[in-house]
Amino acid sequence: MPAPQSSSQRYIVTYADQNISSGSAAEVLNITADRVQDGVSLLESDQPLTASEVLHFDGLGSSSLVLTTAEVENLKHDQRVVAVEPDLEVHILGGDAAAMNGHALNGNGSPDLYDTEESLFDQPQQSLFTQGPGFQAGYQQAITDLHARMLEQMNSMFQSAATNSGSPVLTPPRLPLTPVKPVLPPIVWPPLIQQPIPWNIKMVKAPQAWPRTKGADVRVAVLDTGIANHSDLTISGGASFVPGVTSYNDGHGHGTHCAGVIGARNNALGVVGVAPLCKIYAVKVLNDAGSGQLSWILAGMAWARTNGMQVVSMSLGSNSGPVAAYTVAVQQLLAAGCVVVAAAGNTGGPVGAPANSPGVIAVAAVDQNKVVAPFSSRGGNGNQVTISAPGVSVNSTYLNNGFKPMSGTSMACPHVAGGAALLKARYPAWTPTAIMNRLKSTAADLGVPGNDIVYGVGLLDCDAATM
């Protein structure tokens, strides 16, 4: 195969053999074996991606490389090849809640960040109430001692006044020094600070499921813009597949927001996620502008499979029909025991990729009134909307240890990923198909009766699912 021309573009080649080795892939591509590199390792490194790199994704049956038009046509006629598809640009599927609902942003053109972590009382009062069980007895004893000293001083004043006037000293009746125990109002101890429960978490009935399961130790990979450090999140690990970027830190905020919906901790501050005890992994497949390439997403999916993730949450996509590379990658994840959840899309039109891939739980967005959001994608070719979840003005974790409301099917998707984590923790032996069927069979019907192209089977119900 000749050297790629400058006018060429990068493609994804998907093979008939899903377990094809890099050596066999080189034969199909008609290139030397030493040109083929492990796609996951290369993208995970700080090495920039150039046109000469040929990436192979072991276990997903696909490779990424630059091809000319003629080379594309030749490969399409090769029986060893299922598809040759452009390396699509992929984007986040959620944004500022006010902007997506047609409202203006703040004065400087950007949304306000706010921190809901507020003290119930000021510091002196807080210190007073945290002195322990002996505080009240000590307080009463101090008041009694003060009362006795006041009586002593009053007796001395009588004696001194009589002596200075020259009058016969009249001994007044001595006031009793026996301390009189004052009657004190009872100290009202402040109530324990309770974890605020956001409306969206209540809507999917996650709190009712927590006595049975909180998703403990279930590994959930968030394929997104990364996850930023946050006091309301615990990140168990991760990787970056943005070329030249080794940190999975989130410079955008989208991935951090989605992570909070899945598993923000139940710690009396901020928000709480659907599965607060799950293990969240940050898989950065989109850059800090919120975009990326199909090859980066495939690398993240391959990493999730290799590292034993049990749930994958993808609040990302492109407005395209079903993609063969996604189809194979999803099949391989499902075969490895990993539930795949994806946002349906924000076009209001057909469900986009990867949500339209067979086996994916495709999630639509509803508002606080359980009405589908106008932007929520529905219908189309391939996989349809599976289920619905809150996706309008959802408040969750954000950059700089803050919180922010955002809207999009991106926000709906992690609710269902959290629901899958609850089920996996409660029924560890269940397969991805069993978990999907349970989520579908227990959903609360919305829209026209039964399964429909707008709401799918209806609203996620974590309580009914985990019964």
Q: Which of 35, 55, 31 is nearest to 43 (CA)?
A: 55
Q: Which of 355, 335, 324, 383 is nearest to 16 (CA)?
A: 324
Beta strands (DSSP E) in 176-334 are 219-224, 235-240, 279-284, 291-293, 311-314, 316-317
Q: Give the separation between CA 259 and CA 80, rounded to whole angstroms.
A: 39
Catalytic status, residue 254: yes
User: Cβ distance 59 to 306 under 8 Å?
Assistant: yes
Q: Give the separation between CA 262 and CA 280, rounded to whole angstroms.
A: 8
Q: At CA 70, angle to CA 67 and CA 72, rounded to 5? A: 50
* Residue 264: C-alpha distances to residues 200, 207, 233, 324 (Å): 13, 13, 5, 34
Tokens in use for 169? 């000293």
Task: Indicate which residue of 254, 377, 393, 407 is catalytic.
Answer: 254
User: Cβ distance 22 to 56 under 8 Å?
Assistant: yes
Q: Which of 438, 432, 347, 346 is nearest to 387 (CA)?
A: 438
Question: Which residues are CB-neighbours of 282 under 8 A, at least 6 positions away?
Answer: 222, 224, 226, 227, 235, 237, 238, 239, 248, 249, 250, 255, 259
Catalytic status, residue 232: no
Task: Indicate which residue of 240, 407, 410, 415 is catalytic.
Answer: 410
Task: Indicate which residue of 87, 224, 232, 367 is catalytic.
Answer: 224
Tokens in use for 29? 């591509």
Sheet containing 291-293: which strands, arranged edge to edge? 291-293, 89-92, 316-317
User: Cβ distance 219 to 303 under 8 Å?
Assistant: no
Query: Catalytic positions, please?
Result: 224, 254, 410
